[in-house]
Structure 1
């Protein structure tokens, strides 16, 4: 009768791993941890071994490490403004943006991209109020002061620390034109 070959440890179920580990385990937990670290070092996995050794030398750090492991991984979530910038710089159509968003959600990522509706709202924030816009059959007019006010307000929104410009006189110097003459 031939002896049945054993499965590699990685291929065992949790229950089988526990049973096999209990058969090979000693009574002293420190001895087991030290043995595990030594075996891991011999196997070329120094990173894991150094973590085990650190835990043996600093058992009070266990709570901190466990808390860090249980904390969800931070994911980058685009603000509606950043998503609008992405949409415009990549020249994405509405369908392309929605498909990109739905694909990332379907693939298991959280909602990295805001809804198209939120992006549209962010885009509307880039336009002057409708009261300053006049549209006729043959022309469209926008009050220049409304555009300048909007530009200044959007610049202020991007400033991280408003205290840095407090009590300072600021001057907006701008150039405006549509025919290429203002380049």
Structure 2
């Protein structure tokens, strides 16, 4: 039998895979210790095939046999992968039995996790939690998110699990309303061509988000060049080009939180 998973011919309630398949599965996770790799493998098997209490119990027995043999053989190979594979080639090509629900057996068909009842959803993760340390579960979740292309979610999970303080900061930030800066509110005011009365009506809906109208006036004044750089006579008004450029970009600097010299 090859090293990939496959159904056994004419199987009734079981699936056979090679031990090479199991070894490759846990090695692919790049975990640092053999215990972590074995815990990941147990997690994977229980979450993938532990759809009934009967299957879970039998699967745990089979996994324990595999783990015991794996630790012994790994130790005998002095924890060297190439030596381990050379000494245990025949053993790795042997089979591992995975109990699965017999499709011809009468009774309710198994459901996916999403389709399961709340009680089943609470039970299935409990099997996984009891079989692995928190650090392994968190790492597995991060790896799954990255595999699914959710790299940002993976990074956030990594951050919030570093300490309770970081997690609390994330939670606090999520609960805060998106407060507009005066410059943002001014941009909205101009873009929507609002009157003061219209803006005040909008602000009444959520005063914690929209700054008062006086703040908009202050933000507007910040867009003007300094008075000492403006010269006004009866014939003309002028200002230096640099002051006009500086004040044109000033709102962008405030909104982006950066400081640029032009």
TM-score by length of 2: 0.33
* Structure of higher RCO (CA pairs closer than 8 Å, 6+ residues apart): 2
TM-score by length of 1: 0.45
